[in-house]
Amino acid sequence: MDVKAQLLNLKEEVLKEIEGVKDPSSLNEIRVKYLGKKGVITSILKTLGTLPPEERKEIGQLANSIKEFLEEKIREYEENFKKKELEDALKREKIDVSLPPNWFDVGSPHPVLQTLKEITDIFLYMGFSVESGPEVEYEDYNFTMLNIPENHPARDMQDTFYLNNGMLLRTHTSPVQIRTMLKKKPPIAIVAPGRVYRKDLDPTHSPMFHQIEGLVVDQDITFRHLKGILKIFLESVFGKNIPIRFRPSYFPFTEPSAEVDIGCTVCGGKGCKVCKNTGWLEILGCGMVDPNVFTACGIDPTVYSGFAFGLGIERITMLKYQITDIRLLFTNDMRFNSQFKGIV
Ligand SMILES: [Zn+2]
């Protein structure tokens, strides 16, 4: 075969190879193999000198035109690859601006904490300060110094989680009264919100729940002060026209003691399941601080007097939102919790 035919064959061969490539790197291999410094066509061009002069020009031109043609073809295919790559990338990274946004869930305080904050704020507004105490408490602070000595029947009123060494899980926030009176001299006006524990579990009782305790101690504090403060508080939570009544009661750490009821918020006093057809809802316990509690804390009961009150936050929360089972508050069920979003 003469050089001319060889070149034309080669052209067809390379063209086929170019058309068959699947990726840009194979194109480069073809370029090196045929058109590179040591490539097939280049070596043919190098042998031009050995040809007779009349063929040299023709073959030289033919070889150069084939070389240019093939180089152009390779470039063309490379461009196509680049274009396709860009198109694929655009398709892959396409942003559909009409899609709905991915809403992310914004949390909110638990309904019990919302109520706790609301109640605490009312007392802060009236000039009370906030005190806190440990949940693992001395038996003395939880019972004895609150006028509930050992074997006193009142200890049976609260089913206690006892720990070792005279410690327990506090059954009420009242030990914060003791802690406050041991470290502060009157006048005292504090509220103590926090968690308390009792062995109890049914639709209206949870082994862990929240209370808020209030204590006011000064000279000449009377039951009238207690009634006034609680009236302002209850009206702030339940509205200006809420009926309020004080019922004589008994607590070891107050004397006299009272329980406070409000008119049923569900039936408006007509009688319903929630108020057990009485028209009244028991809301809190209160009373004048028993002189024995003052004495235990080193405060002279002949000089000072005071009042204390305590209430369950879950109960208020349940009444406010008409929740019928306390356990719903502690199951961490988002279907329940998310209903209280944005209430505060
Ligand atoms: Zn009712």
First to last CA, the chain: 95
Looking at residue 101, its pLDDT comes to 82
Ligand 1 centre and the CA of 266: distance in Å?
5
The predicted pLDDT at position 284 comes to 96
C-alpha 273 – ligand 1 centre gap (Å): 6
pLDDT-derived band at 4, boundaries 50, 70, 90: confident
Domains and CATH numbers, the chain: 3-92 (no CATH), 111-340 (3.30.930.10)
Q: Which residues neighbour ligand 1 (ion) by CB within 5 Å?
A: 264, 266-267, 272, 274-275
The C-alpha atoms of residue 191 and residue 179 are separated, in whole angstroms, by: 12
pLDDT higher than 90, residue 249: yes
Centre of ligand 1 from the C-alpha of residue 242, in Å: 13
Could you report the per-residue pLDDT of 215-239, keeping only the tens digit for each? 999 999 999 999 999 999 999 998 9
Say if CB 200 and CB 282 are below 8 A apart: no
Q: Give 266-304 pLDDT, tens digit per residue.
A: 888 899 988 899 999 999 999 999 999 999 999 999 999
Percent of the chain with pLDDT over 90: 53
pLDDT at 130: 97
* CA distances, 287 to each of 35, 156, 253, 271 (Å): 105, 20, 8, 28
pLDDT on residue 341: 73
How confident is residue 344, by pLDDT bands cut at 50, 70 and 90? very low
Q: Is residue 255 a known part of a binding site?
A: yes
Ligand 1 centre and the CA of 263: distance in Å?
Answer: 8
Give me the residue label for tokens 């327990």.
Answer: 168
Give the distance (Å) from ligand 1 centre to CA of residue 244: 14
Identify the weakest region by mean pLDDT among 24-38, 73-87, 241-255. Answer: 24-38
pLDDT in tens, 124-168: 999 999 999 999 999 999 999 999 988 887 676 668 898 888 899
Q: Tell me if 283 sits within 8 A of 311, measured CB to CB.
A: yes
8 Å CB contact between 310 and 212: yes
- pLDDT at position 184: 93
State the pLDDT at residue 158: 65
Token pair recorded at residue 151: 């074997």
Q: Give me the percent of the chain exceeding a pLDDT of 70.
A: 98
Distance 259 CA to ligand 1 centre (A): 18
Judge whether residue 200 has pLDDT over 90.
no
How far is the centre of ligand 1, averaged over its atoms, from the C-alpha of 88 (Å)? 68
Question: Average pLDDT, whole number, for the chain?
Answer: 90
Confidence of residue 58 (pLDDT cuts 50, 70, 90): confident
- The pLDDT score that the predictor gives to residue 23 is 87
- Nearest of 251, 260, 329, 232 to residue 292 by alpha carbon: 251
pLDDT single digits (tens) 308-333: 999 999 999 988 888 888 889 998 88
**What is the Å distance from ligand 1's center to 248 Cα?**
21
| Token output for 243 | 């009926």
Q: What's the pLDDT score for residue 102?
A: 79
